[in-house]
Copies of this chain bind each other. A is one copy, B any other.
C-alpha cells in the first residue's frame, strides 16, 4: 500500500515562529505534518490550529539534540504509515557572547542545537527518503552561516558547521534523488521570538523590514516543488530593506 505524504519539522516552538509557520503551510498544501519540539503545550496548540484550518498534524515531543528522540520521531512517522516528503531542520539557537565570556557549555550547546541535531535529523530524513529516492531536506541557516562576527562567534561556528553538513549531504544524496537545501535567513523573522527579545528593533524596522513567516514558507514550498533537473541547494532570504 502506498504510504501517505507527510512533512516533518523539528524545532517547532512559538505559535508565531518559523517552525509553526512551515508546518501550517505544508499542511495547507495537503501534507500531514509531524511537528516536533520540546514543549508539548506549544506543539498541541499549533497542531490544534492546523486542524482548525482543515489540516492534519501530529505533535511529537522530541529534543533535536537527542539522537534517540530524533530516531523515535522518524520511527513514529513510519509506524503511522507515512512517508517523508519534506524534512525541515529548523532549530535556531543563538546566544550573543564575547569569546572570553563564552564557556565550554555554551559553545557546545550551540553546536549541539544548530549542528549536531541537524546531523541526527538529516541522517534519519535521508534514511526515510532513500527507498523512494525522493524528498526534500531543509536546513535553516542564518547570516552567521557565512560570516562570523563577535559577539556571535560561537553561534557562527555552529552555523558554519551546519552549512557544511548541508553542502556535503547535497553532494552525497542529490544523485540519489534527495534534495538537500540550505537557506540563509538574513534578517529578523517577524515572529514571537523577535517581539519578545528585541521589541525596539522590531518597531524600528517596521513591518516590511522583518521576514514574514508566510513569505519564507512560500519559498520553501517552491523549492520543494522544483524539478530535479534544476535544483537549488542554497539561497538567501532577506527583507528588501535589509542592508547586507
Measured CB to CB, the residues of A under 8 A from B are: 67, 98-100, 102, 104, 107-108, 111, 115-116, 119-120, 122-123, 126-127, 144, 147-154, 156-165, 167-169, 171-175, 177, 179, 190, 208-212, 214-216, 218-219, 222-223, 225-244
What residues of chain B lie closer than 8 Å to A244, measured between beta carbons?
171, 233
CB distance from A35 to the nearest CB of B (A): 21
Cβ contacts under 8 Å, A211 to chain B: 229-230
Q: A153-B168, A190-B229 are in contact. List 18 more A-B contacts (CB 8 A).
A: A99-B172, A104-B119, A107-B116, A107-B119, A108-B116, A144-B164, A152-B168, A156-B167, A157-B161, A159-B164, A174-B242, A179-B240, A208-B228, A215-B226, A219-B222, A219-B230, A222-B223, A232-B235
| Chain B residues whose CB sits within 8 angstroms of the CB of A227 once the complex forms | 212, 214-215, 218
Contact between chains at A153 and B148 (CB < 8 Å): no
The smallest C-beta distance from A122 to any residue of chain B, in angstroms, reads 7
Partner of A230 from B153, B163, B171, B238 at Cβ < 8 Å: B238
Q: Are A147 and B122 neighbours in the complex by a CB distance under 8 Å?
A: no
A107 to B225, CA, bound (A): 31
Complex-state Cα separation, A151 to B222, whole angstroms: 30
Contact indicator A171/B157 (Cβ below 8 Å): no
Q: Which residues of B contact A108 (CB under 8 A)?
A: 116
- How far apart are A184's CB and chain B's nearest CB, in angstroms? 9
18 example contacts (A-B, Cβ-Cβ < 8 A) are as follows A99-B173, A100-B123, A102-B123, A107-B119, A115-B157, A147-B167, A148-B164, A150-B168, A153-B168, A171-B243, A179-B240, A208-B229, A212-B229, A219-B222, A231-B238, A231-B240, A233-B236, A235-B235
In whole Å, how far is A65's beta carbon from the nearest beta carbon of chain B?
Answer: 10
Per DSSP, are chain A's interface residues mostly helix, strand or loop, or mixed?
A: helix
Residues of B within 8 A of A208 (CB): 228-229
Determine the residue in chain B with the shortest Cβ distance to A67. Answer: B104
Q: Which of A151, A158, A230 has the most CB of B within 10 A?
A: A230
Q: Which residues of B contact A156 (CB under 8 A)?
A: 164-165, 167-168
User: B residues within 8 A CB of A104?
Assistant: 67, 116, 119-120
Please, which residues of chain B bring their CB within 8 A of the CB of A239? 228-231
